[in-house]
Amino acid sequence: MASPNPTTATTRPQRPVLQQTLRSKSFLQDHQQYKPSVPVNQTIGNILGSAIESGVGSLSLNANPISPDPEKVTDSGIIHSIFNHQGNLLPTGTPQVIATIFYKSSDPVHPHLHPDSSPRPGNTLPSPMVPVGSAPTVDMEKIPREPPAPEPEPLDHLYGPFVSQLCLTNFLQIMESLPIPYQRMNTSHRCIDQQDQPRVVEVTVAPPPNPDYLTFTDLRKHESIWRFEREWNVEVVLQKESVFRRHKRLVVFDMDSTLIQNEVIDEIAKVIGVEKEVSEITNRAMNGELDFSASLRERVSLLKGVPADVYEKLKTILTISPGARELCKALKTLGCKLAVLSGGFQPLAEWLAGELGIDYAHANHLEVDPTTQTLTGRLVPEYPIVDATRKRALLQSIAADHGIPISQTMAVGDGANDLLMLHAAGLGVAWRAKSKVQLEAPTRLNGESLVDILYLLGLTKDDIKELTSEAV
């Protein structure tokens, strides 16, 4: 057989081949939105062609052949847009929405092992349960006997137990899809607890969805955002951006199950063995199933005969919630006025205010028999009951006394009797709240530490450390 013509072999055009070194080992690195957009006059073909012509045989795995656009780097992070960047894309003063995304590392929505994982010997799947905040009741026996909705894929198990790049990208895609009619939208983000594998990420969106089609109240409860939270095991808190979001001057707290982990009235009931009866009424009242004032009188009547010195004994039993001391110290350092507005009882509210450096304490007053020094089972009639309406009125009056606009106030609580003040405040946060409250409150958080509330003010982990340090 004749040998092949060498001239023909050398002049035949070679088929272009994408070298292995041009591909990274990560799908995310190849497709992440954090890379600058490709200029209009530049395509992937131009890039590959210029690389070959210049004699560059390979690119490093993390190299980006497209030079960054310095105009896209801002103080709040990298701007992401599906459009090619242009100067002054959005006019100055365009409204912004801040989304603070918290990864729920302590309370995973999907506690079961992923199907791709091999279960360890002895591991059993947990009993089915209703996620907190997703229904008026978490009692499986009270749920309608209908086929359950399919569970979303537990994506955090696949891409990491933190706010991953793909998690953030998914959120940006959801926000891009919400405005009707469609508006051009720019977004930026910053990791405010740590850069590597962040648990808390703050996302800025501008402009927000058109309120004529999607109000801000409806945006906070949008089904797409709720499903995103379930898929990625996160919580999203949405706020309108303004100077008042970042600078609060008055913060009011509920006491029981918020600043402390106990329900005081239940602890008092233990002294005379009526804890079960009192606790059942308390739970129903906090879930909004009973009128608070009527239920309080009923519970107090069961406390007749309790020694009046019970408050002193309870001080050694009550447990201050994780992060409460640090939260109050940071807020006081920033110059905030603090108040505890409790449906509990005044002696313990005053004690807690002293422990945490809180300026005001308002709670209910139990009547004491001066002869026997025991509780009479009645409330002192001269003092109004601190119910939902009273809490809202106290929030407004304290703010007015100090000349603080309501937009610079924040309220934190967990029960149905906190809902009115949560809606009245500039920011109302349902902290590890009852199911009904989580559904109806403006925002909700279910973290491990109350310090998480400081992230809603735009503070970083380093800021919080500085505010809570002993040297401050």
- Which residues are tagged catalytic? 254, 256
SS3 233: coil
For residue 375, what are its two tokens? 């509780």
Per the CB < 8 A criterion, the answer to whether 201 and 192 are in contact is yes
- Helix, strand and coil in the chain, % to nearest 5: 35, 15, 50
- Say how far apart CA 343 and CA 415 lie, in whole Å: 10
Side chain identity at 12, as an amino acid letter? R
372, two tokens: 């026997």
Q: Are 439 and 458 in contact (CB under 8 A)?
A: no
CA 61, 67, 70: angle at the middle one, nearest 5? 125
Cα 238 from chain centroid (whole Å):
9
How many whole angstroms separate alpha carbon 249 and alpha carbon 268?
A: 34
The count of other CB atoms within 10 Å of the CB of residue 263 is 21
| Type of residue numbered 441 | A
Q: Please report where in the chains the tokens 């955090």 appear, as a residue.
A: 156
- Whether the bond between 307 and the residue before it is cis, its omega within 30 degrees of 0, is no
Pairing verdict, β 250-253 and 337-345:
parallel
Contact, 438 vs 133, CB < 8 A? Answer: yes
Q: CA 139, CA 80: separation in Å to the nearest integer?
A: 43
